[in-house]
A and B are shown apart, each in its own frame.
Chain A
Amino acid sequence: MLAWTIYISFIGVLVLMLLPREAARAARIIALLTAIAGCVVAFAGAVRQPNPGEVTTIVKIPWIPALGANYFLAADGISLVLVVLTGLAAIAGILFSWNIEKRTKEFFAFYLALIGGVYGVFLSFDVLLLFVFYELTIIPKYFLIARWGSTRKEYGAMKLALFSFVGSHLVLIGLIAAWVVARAQTGHASLDLVELSKVSFPLGFQHWVFPLVFVGFGILAGLWPFHTWAPTGHVAAPTAGSMLLAGVVMKLGAYGCLRVAMVLFPDGVRMWQNEIALLAVIGIVYGAGVALVQRDFKFVIGYSSVSHMGFVLLGLATLNTIGLSGAVLQMFSHGIIAGLLFAVVGRMVYDRTHTRDFNDLQTMQLGKLLPFAGVTFVLAGVASMGLPGFSGFVAELQVLMGAWKVFPMATILAGVGIVVGVAYILRAMQKAFFSESEERRAPARQGSSGDQHAGQVPGAPMEPISVPERIGAMMLIAASLIIGLFPGLLLHWIQPCWNSPLFERLLKGGSL
C-alpha cells in the first residue's frame, strides 16, 4: 500500500504534463489533491503496518538479476516516520506556493517528481533502487530553484546540484566497491540491503569505504564543512523549494547515512565515531553562530538548518538507542519546524514586502501589519529553540541524553549551540516583527514593476494572509505540538527498529 505514495506522485506528474499551459488553477488543485492522496496513503499505510520494528516487504521483484538488484520496496518504523513527514511537508509546500503564477503546471510537475523520488528513497530496501531514487531528486531540485527561485538562483541551484551529484558519486564508488567485495565473499551478487547488512566486510575495507559513503550522504544532510550548499540553496529557492529542501531533502542525506552507510559498515562507524561527532558539533555551533550575524532573514533560517541537522548527525554518532531515536525524531521535528520557518520568511513576508533585509523589515512593523505571520513565527521560533511542548524539545533532549553517555564534552558544546539558537531566533523575531523603530524609511527596493504587491507604503495594509497559508501553518504547528506532547506516537514506531537484525551489528558492539 505504501508504495502507492510513489506511484501517486508520479501519476500526478504525468497528469500535470498533459494539462494545457494556461490551466494554472487546475494545476494547483491537481497538485494539492495528489499530495493529499499521497499523505493519506502514507498515514494509512503507516498505521496499518503490523509491526513497525520489522522490515515489512511491500513489493519485491527481480530487476537486474546480473547485479542481484531487486525492485524491493519495504518499510520499517524509521521509514514510516519519514514517509509521514514527507506527506505532511508535501501538502504544506503546495499550500504555501498557491501564489505561483509563472509556469504553474511545470512548477508543480517538478515539485511532485521531487516528492515521488523522496518517498522512493525512504521506502527502498535495495541499495541500487535507493540510489536511483536518491539521484532522481537532484534534477527537479535544480529546476525548481533555477527557474522559480530568487536571490542568485542559478548559482544556488547549480551549487546544490553539483554538491548533491558529487555526494552521490562518492556513495556510488562505495556501493560498487561493497558490491564487488560482498560478491567475492558470499559467492553471489546482491544489492539487497538486508542481505548486505549480514556481510561482514573486512575492517581495512570498512575503514576507508565508510567515510566515503557517510560523507557522500552527509553532504546532503548539511554535514560541516560540506554544508555550504545549504544556506545559498535555501535562500535561492522558492518558498516551497526551501521548505522541501530543509524539510525532506536534507533528511534524505541523514537517512542515507543511517540506512546505508551505518548499517552496511558498522565497524567503520565505530572507527570514525569521534570524528563524526566532532563535525556534527562544529556544525551545530558554527551554524548557530553564523545565523546570529546574518542580515538576510532567510539566511538566518538557512544556517539554523545546518545547526539543527548537526543534532541529527550527533545523534547518529552516539550509537546508542536513545541517541539514534533522538536523531530520527529530530529529522521529523526539523522537517516540520524548518518548513514552517521558511514558509513565514519566504511566503508570508518576502512575497509581500519584497525584501528580507532586517534593516528594511525593521521599519515596517510587520508585527502589526501581518499579525498572523508574527504569531506563526513566534510559535515556530520557540519550537525551533527547543521549548518543551514542541517536537524540537523531545528530539534534541534525546540526542543530548544519548550523546552525554559517549561524548560529554561535545554534549556541552551542543548545549551552547542551543543557547545561541535561542539568541538568533529572538534577534530575528525582534528585528523582523517587533521592532520599535520610529524611523519609517521606505523599503529599499520598491518592488519590480507590474507586481501587485510592489511599492508597499510603510504602514499601509498588506495583502492579508491567505487561507491556504493559514491552513498550512496551522497544520505544521499542530504536527509539531502533537509530537511534542505525545512523542510516543512516533517513538513506538522508531524504538522497536533498533532490535531488528538490521541494526544488530551496529548497536551490539562488534569486533572493535
Chain B
Amino acid sequence: MNYLQILQLAAPETALAITVLMVLAVDLIALRGQTVEQRFHAGMLVSIIGCLMAAILAFAHFEQGNLLNGMLVVDPQTDFLKVVLLILTIFTVMISASGKFTEHVGEYLSLVLLGTIGLMFLVSAEDLLMIFISLELASLSLYILTAFNKRNARSSEAALKYFLFGGMSAAFLLFGFSLLYGLSGSTNLPQIAAGLAGRGLDPLLLVAIVTTVIGFGFKVAAVPFHLWAPDAYEGAPTPSAAFIASGSKVASFYILAKIMTMGFAGAEGSAIWQGYVSGWTPVIAIVAALSMVLGNLTAIVQSSVKRLLAYSAIAHAGYMLLGVLASTPSSHSALLFYVITYALTVLGAFGVVTVVEAATGSDAMANFAGLGRRAPGLSLCLLVFLLSLAGIPPLAGFIGKFFLFSAVVGTDAEHLGLLWLVILAIVMSAVSFYYYLQVLKQAWVLDAAANAPAIKVPLVTMVALVLLAGLVILLGCAPGLLTRHL
C-alpha cells in the first residue's frame, strides 16, 4: 500500500473535498456583495461541476481494491452507489438554489458536500471504525444543515433534538461495536463473522445485535427510534430535510444491510411465521412491523406536508427493513432499487414543498389547495412523486415494492414463512394511499382562494423536478436500467 493507491481509490471523495474548498473560496472571495440568489447560483454551479467530476471518476474507476483490511473497499457496486449519491446531491443542491433561508451560502453548500463525502466513505467501509467515523462525518454535517435556518426557532429546536438523539444513537452504536470487537477480536466485518462462528447466540452477542439495531434504527428513523424525524423534517430548511431523507437513507440502508449480512452472518435466526428462531432477523422484523404500522397510521392525521412525508419516511423505512432481513442476494438488490428510487422520489416531493413553502409561507396541507391551477407543471410533478410513494404503477415506487416484496417472500418459497410481513406491508401501503391522496386532493380537486396568484417556479428547481419526475417514470417503466448495476 502506498499513498498514491489511497488517492487513486479515493479519487471521487478527493475531488469532492477539493470542491468543498472551492465552493467556500469562491463564495468568500469572488462573490462579496452579490445577492444571495447570485451567490447560490454560482455556488451551485461549482458544486455541480465538482459532483460531476467525482461521479465521472467513480464511474470510470479502473482500480478496485480493499485497503487496510476493509477500511476502504472499492468495487463496481460501491462505485455505482457513489454515483447515485452524487446525483442525489446534485439534485439537493439544485433544490436549495432558490432558498431564502440563509445568507451563508458557501457554508451551506460545503456542508452538503461534506455530508456527501461522509456518505461515500460509508458506502466503501467494511470496518467498524471506518463505518463509525464516516457515519459521524455525515451526521455532523446533517445536524448543522438542520439548524441552518437561524431566523426560525423551530430549526434550532429540530437540530438540537436531532443532535441529541443522534449522539445517543452513536453511543449505542459504539457500545455495540466494542462488544463485537471484544467477542471476535477484529473490526473487519467478514473477520467478525468468522470470529463469531460457532459461538452460538450468547447474551453478549444479543446485546451487540440489539444495540447495533438501535443505533441504525435512529439513523433510518425506524419505530421506536423515530421520534426525532418528524420534528427534524418539519423544522429543518426543506432542502436539508430532503438530503436527510434521500442521500443519507441510501447509504445508511446499504451499510446496515452490509453489517447485518456480513458481520452477523451465522446469527440470523429466523422471523418466519411460527418458525421463530432468535437472532438478528426477528429483531429487525419487529422494528420493521412497528415502523410500517405506526408510520402509516400516524401520517393519516398530519396537516403539515413535511410531517406527513416524515411519517411516510418512517413507513418506508419499515418496508426497506424487510429487504434487510430477507438477506438474500435478490433481496439485497431489491432493497437497493427500492431505496434509490425512494430517494429520488422523496427528493422531488421535498422540492415541490420547497416551492410551495416559498410562495405561500408554510407547508400546511391547505396551502396546496388549487396548486393544479396555480402551477400546473409543479403539481403534475407532485402527482408523479406522491403516486410513486403510494406505489401506483407504472411508477418506480410500485416496481420497487414488487421487487422487494417478491424477493422477501421468495426467501422461503416452500412455506411462504415471511409472507406475514409482506401482507402487513401491503395492507399498510393500501392505508398510505389515503394520505397521499389527501395532498393530491388539495392540489387537484380543491380550489385556491379566489385571488391566489399563479406560483412562479424558479427555473433551476423546475428543471430538477422535471428530471426527477422523468427518472421516476423511466425507472418504473424500464427498471432494467437500474437493476443491472445492483
Of B387, B427, B437, B444, the residue contacting A158 (CB under 8 A) is B437
Within 8 Å of chain B (Cβ to Cβ): is A169? yes
- Determine if B394 and A176 form an interchain contact, defined as CB atoms under 8 angstroms apart: no
Asked if B80 CB lies within 8 Å of chain A CBs, one says no
Q: A142-B437, A143-B444 are in contact. Are A179 and B479 (CB under 8 A)?
A: no
Q: Could you tell me if B392 and A136 are in contact, using CB atoms closer than 8 angstroms?
A: yes
Main secondary structure of the interface of A (DSSP, over half): helix
B376 to chain A, nearest CB (A): 9
| Known pairs A143-B444, A147-B444, A161-B433; A138 contacts B426 (CB<8 A) | no
| Cβ contact within 8 Å between A64 and B423 | no
Do A181 and B480 have beta carbons less than 8 Å apart?
no
A512 at the B interface (CB under 8 A): no
CB-based contact B413/A183 at 8 Å? yes
Q: Mark B415-452, 1 if CB is under 8 A from A, else 0.
A: 01001001100110110011001000100110000000
**Bound state CA distance, A165 and B398, in angstroms?**
13
| Least Cβ–Cβ distance between B244 and chain A, in angstroms | 29
Residues of chain A lying within 8 A (CB to CB) of residue B483: 64, 66
| Contact status B402-A128, CB under 8 Å | yes
Q: List residues of chain B with CB within 8 A of the CB of A179.
A: 406
Q: Mark B57-78, 1 if CB is under 8 A from A, else 0.
A: 0000000000000000000000
Residues in B with CB closer than 8 Å to A135 are 392-393, 398
Task: Return chain B residues, CB-CB under 8 Å to A128.
Answer: 402
Q: Quote the shortest CB–CB distance from A21 to chain B (angstroms).
A: 9
Q: Give min CB distance, B179 to chain A, whole Å.
A: 37
A419 adjacent to chain B (CB < 8 Å): no
Cα distance, A131 to B393, chains bound together (Å)? 8
Indicate whether A67 sits within 8 Å of B402 (C-beta atoms), given known contacts A172-B426, A173-B423: yes
The interface residues of chain B lying within 8 Å CB-to-CB of A176 are 402, 405-406, 409, 422
Contact of B441 among A64, A146, A166, A180 (CB under 8 A): A146
Contact B393 A67 (CB under 8 A): no
Does A139 have its Cβ within 8 Å of any Cβ on chain B? yes
Nearest-CB residue, chain A, relative to B477: A63
Interface residues in A161-180 by Cβ distance below 8 A to B read 161-162, 165-166, 169, 172-173, 176-177, 179-180
Instruction: Knowing A143-B444, A161-B433 are in contact, say whether A177-B393 is a contact too (CB < 8 A).
Output: no
B40 to chain A, nearest CB (A): 32
A65, closest chain B residue (CB): B480
The one of B399, B413, B437, B444 in contact with A184, judged by C-beta atoms closer than 8 angstroms, is B413
Q: Which of A67, A132, A146, A177 contacts B409 (CB 8 A)?
A: A177
Chain B residues contacting A67 (CB-CB under 8 Å) are: 402-403, 406
Min CB distance, A70 to chain B, in Å?
A: 13
State whether the Cβ of A154 lies closer than 8 Å to any Cβ in chain B: yes
Distance between Cα atoms of A177 and B330 in the complex (Å): 16
Which residues of A have CB within 8 Å of B433?
161-162, 165
Task: Name the A residues within 8 Å of B372 (CB-CB).
Answer: 106
Taking a contact as CB atoms under 8 Å apart, the answer to whether B393 and A64 are in contact is no
* In the complex, chain B residues whose CB is within 8 Å of the CB of A181: 413, 416
If A128-B402, A147-B445 touch, whether A136 touches B393 (CB-CB below 8 Å) is yes
A3 to chain B, nearest CB (A): 16
Contacts of A184 in B (CB 8 A): 413-414
Q: CA of A172 to CA of B427 in the docked complex: distance in angstroms?
A: 10
With A143-B445, A147-B444, A176-B406 in contact, is A169–B437 under 8 Å at CB?
A: no
0 or 1 for each of A98-133: is its CB under 8 Å from B? (1 = yes): 000000001000000000000000000000100110
Give the residue of A64, A136, A166 whose beta carbon is less than 8 angstroms from that of B480: A64
Other-chain residue from B410, B422, B445, B480 in contact with A154 (beta carbon distance below 8 A): B445
Decide: A154 and B403 in contact? CB cutoff 8 A.
Answer: no
Complex CA distance for A65 and B437, rounded to whole angstroms: 32
Find chain B residues with CB under 8 A from A132 CB: 393-394, 398
> Chain A residues with Cβ under 8 A from B399's Cβ?
64
Assembly CA distance A131 to B426 (angstroms): 15
Chain A residue at smallest Cβ distance from B394: A132
The interface size bin for chain B is 20 to 34
Q: Mark B93-127, 1 if CB is under 8 A from A, else 0.
A: 00000000000000000000000000000000000
Residues in A whose Cβ lies below 8 Å from that of B403: 66-67
Residues of B with C-beta under 8 A to A131: 393
Q: Are B413 and A180 in contact (CB under 8 A)?
A: yes
B334-357 near A? 1/0 per residue, CB < 8 Å = 000000000000000000000000
- B392 A139 Cβ-Cβ under 8 A: yes
**Known A139-B387, A162-B434, A180-B410; contact A169-B429, beta-carbon cutoff 8 A:** yes
Q: How far is the CA of A178 from the CA of B222 in the complex (A)?
A: 30
CB of A56 to closest CB in B, whole Å: 24
Name the one of A64, A65, A157, A169 contacting B427, with C-beta atoms under 8 angstroms: A169
| Interface-central residue, A65, A136, A143, A176, by most chain B CB under 10 Å | A176
Q: What are the residues of chain A within 8 A of B434 when measuring CB–CB?
A: 158, 162
The answer for the CA separation of A437 and B483 in the assembled complex, in Å, is 71
Q: Which residues of A contact B441 (CB under 8 A)?
A: 146, 154, 158
Chain A residues, Cβ within 8 Å of B413? 180-181, 183-184
How far is it, in angstroms, between the C-alpha of A173 and the C-alpha of B423 when the chains are bound? 6
> Closest CB of chain A to B443's CB: distance in Å?
10
A139 to B414, CA, bound (A): 36
Distance in angstroms between the alpha carbons of A176 and B402 in the assembled complex: 8
On chain B, the residues within 8 Å of A166 by CB distance are 430
- A181 to B429 alpha-carbon distance, docked (Å): 23
Q: How far is the CB of B330 from chain A (nearest CB, A)?
A: 8
Q: Is there an interface contact between B430 and A165, defined as CB atoms closer than 8 Å?
A: yes
**How far apart sit A270 and B98, CA to CA, in the bound complex (Å)?**
63
The answer on a CB contact under 8 Å between A64 and B479 is yes
Residues of B within 8 A of A154 (CB): 441, 445
Complex alpha-carbon distance, A180 and B402, angstroms: 12
Contact A177 B480 (CB under 8 A): no
Q: Tell me, in angstroms, the Cα distance from A106 to B413 when the chains sit together.
A: 46
Pick the contact of A173 from B387, B394, B426 — CB < 8 Å? B426
Residue on B nearest A153 in the bound complex, by CB: B445
0/1 string, A75-86, CB within 8 A of B gives 1: 000000000000
B398 contacts which chain A residues (CB < 8 A)?
132, 135
Residues of A within 8 A of B479 (CB): 64
Q: Give CA–CA (A64, B479) in the complex, Å.
A: 7
Instruction: Tell me the complex Cα distance, A242–B10, Å.
Output: 62
Question: Which residue from chain B places its CB closest to the CB of A165 in the assembled complex?
Answer: B433
CA distance A177 to B423 in the complex (A): 10
When each residue 342-381 of chain B gets 1 if its CB lies under 8 Å from chain A and 0 otherwise, what string results?
0000000000000000000000000000001000000000
The interface bits of chain A over 177-196 (1 if a CB of B lies within 8 angstroms of the residue's CB, else 0) are 10111011000000000000
Please give the distance in Å from B274's CB to the nearest CB on chain A: 15
A252, chain B: closest CB distance, angstroms? 15
What B residues does A183 contact at CB under 8 A?
A: 410, 413
Given the complex, which residues of A lie within 8 Å of B426, measured CB to CB?
Answer: 169, 172-173
Which residues of B from 443 to 473 have beta carbons under 8 Å from A?
444-445
Q: With the chains together, A169 CA to B401 CA distance in Å? A: 12
Cα A142 to Cα B423 in complex, Å, equals 25
- Closest Cβ of chain B: how far from A90's Cβ, in Å? 21
Query: Whose C-beta in chain A lies nearest to the C-beta of B480?
Result: A64
Give CA–CA (A412, B89) in the complex, Å: 68
- State in angstroms the CA–CA spacing of A249 and B339 once bound together: 34
Q: 25 pairs across A/B with beta carbons < 8 Å?
A: A132-B394, A135-B398, A136-B394, A142-B437, A146-B441, A146-B444, A154-B445, A157-B445, A158-B434, A161-B433, A162-B433, A165-B430, A169-B427, A169-B429, A172-B402, A173-B419, A173-B422, A176-B409, A177-B409, A180-B410, A180-B416, A181-B413, A183-B413, A184-B413, A184-B414
Which 4 pairs between the two chains have the least Cβ-Cβ distance?
Answer: A184-B413, A132-B393, A169-B430, A146-B445
- Beyond the given pairs A66-B403, A169-B427, 11 more chain A to chain B contacts, judged by CB atoms under 8 angstroms and listed by A's residue number, are A67-B402, A131-B393, A146-B444, A154-B445, A158-B437, A169-B426, A176-B402, A176-B405, A176-B422, A180-B416, A181-B413
Interface residues of B (CB under 8 A from A): 330, 372, 387, 392-394, 398-399, 402-403, 405-406, 409-410, 413-414, 416, 419, 422-423, 426-427, 429-430, 433-434, 437, 441, 444-445, 479-480, 483
